[in-house]
Amino acid sequence: MPEIAFVKPAMPKHGALVLPIAEDGEPAGLHAALDKASGGALSRALEAASFKGRKGQSATLWAPVEGISRVVAIGLGKSAELTAEGAEAAGGACYGLVAKEREAMVAAEGLAAPVAAGFALGLLLKSYRFDRYRTTEKEDDKPKLEKVAVATDAATACKNAWAPLRAIADGVFIARDLVSEPPNVLHPVEMAERCKPLEKLGLTIEILGPKEMRKLGFGALLGVSQGSAVEPRMVVMQWLGASGGTAATKKKPAQKPVAFIGKGVTFDTGGISIKPAGGMEDMKWDMAGAGTVIGLMAALAGRKAKVDAVGLVGLVENMPSGTAQRPGDVVKTASGQTVEVINTDAEGRLVLCDVMHYAQQRFDPRFMVDLATLTGAIIIALGHEHAGMFSNDDTLAQQLSAAGKPVGEAVWRMPLGEAYDKQLKSEIADMKNVGGRPGGSITAAQFIQRFVDKGRPWAHLDIAGVAWSSKDLPTAPKGATAFGVRLLDRLVADHYEG
């Protein structure tokens, strides 16, 4: 991933020159300087390419002057409509056009600081690659971009706008790395270990194993885990950015924390209710909710957010074996409620219910948001364009909807209700873990809601359709998206800081 710097405008001596151009913009600065130096070749090239600066447009001019190997024009659309978010998409589109250069300079003299920083963020996010396990890729095929210099007359304002974005990008990359790792490498024990280094950001990290979980009565989570050869883990992450200090300093928190809970099934075979073989490899992504919570906590700590936040993830592997739980088993959850496990493939809710109960008992949070790749049914309902949102609180739901739009992580509110809840009725226990095919995502949410304390604002995000993408997105290559890191960071920034 390239390093980003903000510099005074000066014609680059090598590499690429990037020109973000608005539809109604007049050539100035480096743009005008290059046109002059090339004897008007740039204007002629843009004219010949019918480049008008519209959103999504781009044009490349090769080696117009000594030293500069390419000039890349990127359309920004109408300047009056240009936002930081629009600039992100333009930055993302730019990346592929300069990826084979070692250095690129972005002529951002005409852009306001948040827009210039947004352009850089889009470019950086799009440059993500997970290539740990490639050993034979040819040098020529690899991206080369090492340095992006953003040329601006407002370097200080840009750097201030950039600092938090850089921390957020780091959080996104942490989440994408975790989600991309193969399931033989990233099992529950390893995933918990990978949280440890985040202590250097000022997070307090606790890791609980099966012994502690048995003591806490986590019968539902442990039931899911019992077929696996790898032990389960729960990781509790704390960021005390509002009260100052860390949880370890034992300073009394000034406010109730906000809480984020993630489903971390490092591989979901379905268990004894085993899944079909085709596409089962995708179930390495079933820990994306947990990956997002970890990335989010890193982002909040990295940008020193003025909030007290806790992040908890339940990490298990759902395997079939001689020790696996059976359909028909009854388990006792940490809350005391009992569950008849009808389908061992509806395991995410069994993990979440114990972790969520624990989070409320211990932290009494202001609100709780859980993230989970919970149901295939949400993909049928919403496709890959929105995460499903379920909430018992209109204010929180409204805040989440608003936070998602500008960062390109949209959520769509789904209903909850008594009638759906009835579908969970069991003949032998307090509830079944499945409610049948009708409204499968809703009954899953109803199940989880049974573990939310009365009066506690809560939202559940079913991210099964958005946690990874089979096609390139504006600011992410195909694969793990880290959906939720930016949305929840934005939620905190907009409403829960200070």
290-349: contacts with ligand BES (CB under 6 A)? 343, 345-348
- Judged by beta carbon, residue 444 or residue 480, the one nearer Mn ion is 444
Contacting residues for 80 by C-beta, under 8 A, at least 6 apart: 24
Contacting residues for 295 by C-beta, under 8 A, at least 6 apart: 171, 172, 173, 174, 175, 176, 178, 482, 485
Q: Indicate if 132 belongs to the active site.
A: no
Minimal CB distance to Mn ion: which residue? 345
Listed residue (472, 273, 288, 278) closest to 378, CA to CA: 288
CA–CA dist 48, 46 (Å, integer): 5
253-272: contacts with Mn ion (CB under 5 A)? 268
Q: Indicate if 413 belongs to the active site.
A: no
Told to check if 268 binds ligand BES by CB under 6 A, we report yes
From the list Zn ion, Mn ion, ligand BES, none, which binds 167 (C-beta under 5 to 8 Å, kind-based)?
none
Residue 248 carries which DSSP code?
G
Cβ atoms within 10 A of the Cβ of 67, count?
11
- Judged by beta carbon, residue 358 or residue 447, the one nearer ligand BES is 447
Q: Which stretch binds ligand BES (CB under 6 A): 203-211, 213-221, 369-377, 399-407?
A: 369-377
Tokens of 28: 């100035």
CB 228 within 8 A of CB 317: yes
Catalytic residue among 55, 144, 275, 413: 275
265-324: contacts with Mn ion (CB under 5 A)? 268
Catalytic residue among 303, 349, 486, 490: 349
SS3 423: coil
Contacting residues for 70 by C-beta, under 8 A, at least 6 apart: 16, 17, 60, 61, 62, 63, 97, 98, 101
CA–CA dist 250, 20 (Å, integer): 49
Residue 476 carries which DSSP code?
B
Q: Which stretch binds ligand BES (CB under 6 A): 62-70, 74-82, 126-134, 371-379?
A: 371-379
| Least distance between ligand BES and beta carbon 162 (Å) | 34
| Least distance between Mn ion and beta carbon 293 (Å) | 19
327-356: contacts with Mn ion (CB under 5 A)? 345, 347
- Judged by beta carbon, residue 286 or residue 317, the one nearer Zn ion is 286
Told to check if 383 binds ligand BES by CB under 6 A, we report no
Told to check if 109 binds Mn ion by CB under 5 A, we report no
Binding mask 339-378 for Zn ion (x = CB under 5 A): ---------x------------------------------
Question: 84-98 vs 113-126: helix axis angle to the nearest 10?
Answer: 40
Q: What values do phi and psi take at 371, rounded to 5?
A: -125, 135
From the list Mn ion, ligand BES, Zn ion, none, which binds 434 (C-beta under 5 to 8 Å, kind-based)?
ligand BES
- Judged by beta carbon, residue 57 or residue 481, the one nearer Zn ion is 481
Told to check if 268 binds Zn ion by CB under 5 A, we report yes
Told to check if 375 binds ligand BES by CB under 6 A, we report yes
SS3 498: coil
Told to check if 350 binds ligand BES by CB under 6 A, we report no
CA–CA dist 284, 291 (Å, integer): 12
| Least distance between ligand BES and beta carbon 492 (Å) | 26
Please report, for residues 5, 20, 33, 100, 321, the alpha-carbon distance to residue 70 in angstroms, rounded to integers and kept in the order given. 20, 14, 15, 11, 58
CB 69 within 8 A of CB 16: yes
∠ CA 451-330-281, rounded to 5°: 80
Binding site for Mn ion (CB under 5 A): 268, 345, 347
Binding site for ligand BES (CB under 6 A): 268, 286, 343, 345-348, 373-377, 434, 440, 464
**Catalytic residue list:** 275, 349
